[in-house]
Structure 1
Amino acid sequence: MANISIVSPGKNGQLINEYGERVVPPEAWSFLPAGDAGITRRVTAQGNYWRVQYKKGRKTISKGVWAPAHTIAMAQQELAAMRETESYQKKRASDIQRREKKQQLYTEEFLQAVISYLNFHAAYHSIAEQMARAITQHAIPVGSGTVARTQLIPLQERAAKAVIAWMRHQTTAYDKMKIARIKGERRAVRRELAQQSLRLLVPYRKGEPIAPGCPLRKAIQKQVKWNDHE
């Protein structure tokens, strides 16, 4: 009989069901931490498990599953044997190569989108490239959880949001701010800082002289060697 439940982690390793009640896994069950999707799929395919997950903002994060110990052991043994086969090794190598190529193409595509959004004057073109590379290096890694990894919004919008996010951390005191725990307050602070960031970009876009104390100039100096264009 299927025994599928969604539970949440509680205090001191406790598990809480959807009704807020403390529950205990059946005897002879073990916990399989999240991390190996292949094993997890084999275990959950048996239709007898509890998934442990929790909410973090809008995201649902899985910590793993509770399932019969023999089911987990069998899944681990089967997957280990499969991964030793020559056909699997070849497919694995091919998949890695394909993902790396895809990542390289997206990295370049995202970099160009950031440069396009910055839209710096020709006098500061090399500065735009330096800044774009710093932003891309931070935002693009797989699993980074940044806006650059989402497919839900267009590329240009991803690039714009990545620029503002990078500037928020690099050119403002956001990371040291004590923001009141009031609904909407953090969002309001971010909107205000985004406007500050947009104002910082204006002289670079117009080709105007950059003040030595410019926060953006200082941020870029931390990342790369500054080329003086004044």
Structure 2
Amino acid sequence: MPRKTSSKTKHPDPDPNQPLQQQTLVVAPGPNDRTVRLPSGDVVGVPESWTLLPPGDAGVTRRVKAAGPTWTMKERKGRREFSKGLWADDSQIQSAKASMESTRSTAQYAKAKAAAKARREEKQEEYVEDFHAAVVTFLNFHSAYAAIAQRFAVAVTKHATPVGSGTVARTQRIPIERRAESAVIAWMRHQTTAYDDMKIARVKGERREVRRQLAAQSRKLLQKYRSGESDAMQNCPLAKALRSH
């Protein structure tokens, strides 16, 4: 899957005093397979001996870059940039692939990879537990609905925490308490409202306003469970949604 990068990055122009083939650059796709577009907008051909290494193998990519020079190709879509691969001399790429394959065939590499996987899984398990607890804390349901809070937290956590899910729960930019709150509201938006079937006008700010209104409805619904209202579950879209999870 192409890797997303920040849209705010300003890529430098090539040094006019050096041949392009000797420079490490960030470029965009050109009008055909063997051309690229420089940050200046100029279209140039790819050196004849160069080939494109597709994104996806970080180990090989690092080795190709270390051997240099390379042209990293990125394509902008909306506010994002996506990696489309790395242009480099074909011999450079083949050497990096062979080197990486040799490294990966060793018992030491296999052991290190297994250890790294175990660490990631342990870290993920700890995060899932912490996130679940943060969701329960945010819900703050009355003791009469403690079981519902646990069930709700499990559903939200299961949806929001998988690695690579791209949900707000995976961001590190905001505290876990805010991640939990945002994840609950997002889950409710899709599970307890008609948001997914709404036809929202393509007007700037309209979708944000709809989400704000739905979030207010969701918070009002949550308040019934927090205050322990005896009829909170009667004809409740949350109770209905949880029955299917």
State if a TM-score over 0.5 links the two structures.
Answer: yes
1:48 counterpart SS class: coil
**Quick one: which amino acid aligns to residue 83 of structure 1?**
R
Equivalent residues in 2 for 1:211-230, closer than 5 Å: 211-223=233-245
**1-side partners of 2:24 and 2:135: how far apart?**
45
Describe the shift of the 1:10–1:189 C-alpha distance in structure 2 as closer, same or farther (beyond 3 A): farther
Aligned to 1:18: 39
* Correspondence for 2:146 among 112, 125, 145: 125
**Judging changes above 3 Å, is the alpha-carbon distance between structure 1 residues 41 and 173 closer, same or farther for their aligned structure 2 residues?**
same
Distance 1:204 1:57, change over 3 A: farther
- Say what the alpha-carbon RMSD is for the aligned residues: 2.0
1:167 corresponds to which of 188, 199, 203: 188
Residue identity opposite 2:228 in structure 1 = G
193-202 or 170-179: which moved more? 170-179
Q: Does 1:202 align with 2:223?
A: yes
Separation in 2 of the partners of 1:7 and 1:177? Answer: 39
The corresponding residue for 1:227 is none
Say if 2:25 is the partner of 1:5. Answer: yes
Deviation at 1:59, TM superposition (A): 4.3
Identity over aligned residues, as a percent?
52
Q: Deviations over 1:163-187 (max 9, x none)?
A: 1111111112222223333332222
Cα deviation, residue 42, structure 1: 0.9
Distance in 2 between residues matched to 1:114 and 1:43, nearest whole Å: 44
Answering whether residue 54 of structure 2 is matched by residue 33 of structure 1, we say yes
- Give, in angstroms, the shift of residue 221 of structure 1: 1.4
Flag as ranges the 4+ runs of structure 1 deviating above 6 A. Answer: none
Structure 2 unaligned regions, length at least 5: 1-20
Q: Distance in 2 between matches of 1:43 and 1:217?
A: 54
How far apart in 1 are the matches of 2:170 and 2:88? 32
For residues 92-140 of structure 1, give each alpha carbon's deviation from its aligned partner in whole angstroms, at most 9, with x where no partner exists: 1111111111111111000000011011111111111111111111111
2:213 is matched by which residue type in structure 1? E
The number of residue pairs the alignment matches comes to 223
What's the TM-score once normalised by structure 1's chain length?
A: 0.88
Alignment-derived partner of residue 139 in structure 1? 160
Mapped partners of 1:2, 1:12: distance in 2: 22
Gaps of 5+ in 1: 224-230
Say which is worse superposed, 160-169 or 4-13, in terms of deviation. Answer: 4-13
Spell out, residue by residue over 1:147-203, the C-alpha distance to the aligned partner (whole angstroms, 9 max, x if none).
111111111011111111111111122222233333322222222221111112111
Q: How far, CA to CA, are the matches of 2:53 and 2:147 in structure 1?
A: 50
Q: Structure 2 matches for 1:38-187, cutoff 5 A?
A: 38-55=59-76, 59-187=80-208
